Structure 1
């Protein structure tokens, strides 16, 4: 009985250690490459997204994302990352890659895989907004006839990941490996208004460096998002927290 109790305590401590370590990489990280490209990585809960883009000419380069977990193996710390979408090579979707990494204060270094390199943490303000530091999935949206249509859970996903001040949205299909688009940047909240400033976009370069304001209401687990898109179309969406 005593051995069983000790084993349970050991497993609990190991799990807690992994959870605490996973939380330590939560937030937003940046990597400026020698070719002038900027890469931005957001980690929250057990999901991450990254995007690479040119800030000068607003050129979008690539993006990827998926679930992750922190593992320990032979005294090494490993970031195990399962791809949900990958614009460089769609045949890699669904595959898991193990990245050996180290974390030294505000520097995250990965030795291999799609996230290889040195990432510097971006300092953010502490956000208490209910949609920040979390992952949200599109649950319903208004069609052209102004009727709300449910987006059923399945292989097609539109998800939005938030740190304290940064966000990224991506739409993709896990089964077919199709990728439909992404954009991201910074966000802020003023009273009932939610404001996005676009840093990169895979489809509409004209949106980059522009800000867009929406009505924002949190109703239980739902985040109701309404306003006008960059193309002038009406936007009315319901987002649900979680993957």
Structure 2
């Protein structure tokens, strides 16, 4: 082969090799929910809007262990979680944790629970309800009062059939409470079934119904709370700064 042709081929090979190594790692955010079970204990991972919440609980024993969450993305088999709250360790707020996240045949291999295990798919997150919501208005008497964004906030993450709310402080890391489970939203009726609750285990297993509707991107939530008190709340989808 002519020397010139050999040099051209060598340059082309080097270019392909260099390009392959210089490609930036692909970052993707997770959407949906996955569940890891060990004995009576369960871990649920919910994700939408580049955000996630992870909770460890025992539904049959009505025990809540811990929860944490924040912004997330996956890069080369690693889930990076920028903590916005952690019920066991407020000092984690603002830091980043890394976890194994490998897609296998029908499940995810991850160590989110503290040990490597199989996380099975538990639901998707592609509906109009999926995402991170925040209470923006609440009726007090006959007045609908606006709730301004502050470090102390209550967020509610929904996938297509699961929910979790968390009362947190994004500045101090203080965690005030959480609850979650499954839900259905049909014909204007929103139904929640509670599978974990940090403040009052007696509410685990309760099913609550509300007359709800979506209005110009806002979620109007009306009915009775788990204590039996009347509620009228307006929830709105959040921007990243509100999470």
Distance 2:146 2:118 in 1: 38
For residue 180 of structure 1, the aligned residue among 170, 176, 179 is 176
CA contact (8 A) 1:81 1:96 kept: yes
Distance 1:39 1:127, change over 3 A: closer
Q: Which residue of 2 aligns with 1:142?
A: 139
Distance 2:126 2:175 in 1: 32
State TM-score, norm by structure 2. 0.81
| Greater shift in the superposed pair: 42-51 or 94-103 | 94-103
Distance 1:123 1:202 in 2: 22
Q: Which residue of 1 aligns with 2:35?
A: 30
Distance 1:48 1:199 in 2: 18
Unaligned runs of 5+ in 2: 1-19
Secondary structure of the residue aligned to 2:27 is: helix
Pair 1:98-2:107 in alignment: no
For residue 224 of structure 1, the aligned residue among 216, 220, 223 is 220
Q: Please state how far the C-alpha of 1:149 moved relative to its aligned partner.
A: 2.1
State TM-score, norm by structure 1. 0.81
Unaligned runs of 5+ in 1: 1-9
Distance 1:148 1:80 in 2: 39
Distance 1:162 1:106, change over 3 A: farther
CA contact (8 A) 2:152 2:169 kept: yes
* Equivalent residue pairs, number: 218
Distance 1:26 1:119 in 2: 17
Distance 1:100 1:38, change over 3 A: closer
For residue 155 of structure 1, the aligned residue among 151, 157, 162 is 151
For residue 55 of structure 2, the aligned residue among 21, 45, 51 is 51
Rg larger in 1 or in 2?
A: 2
Q: Please state how far the C-alpha of 1:207 moved relative to its aligned partner.
A: 1.6
Q: Which residue of 2 aligns with 1:130?
A: 128
1:64-101 C-alpha deviation (Å, 9 max, x unpaired): 11111222xxxx42211111110111111111112232
Distance 2:114 2:160 in 1: 21
Aligned Cα RMSD in Å? 2.3
Distance 1:115 1:130, change over 3 A: farther
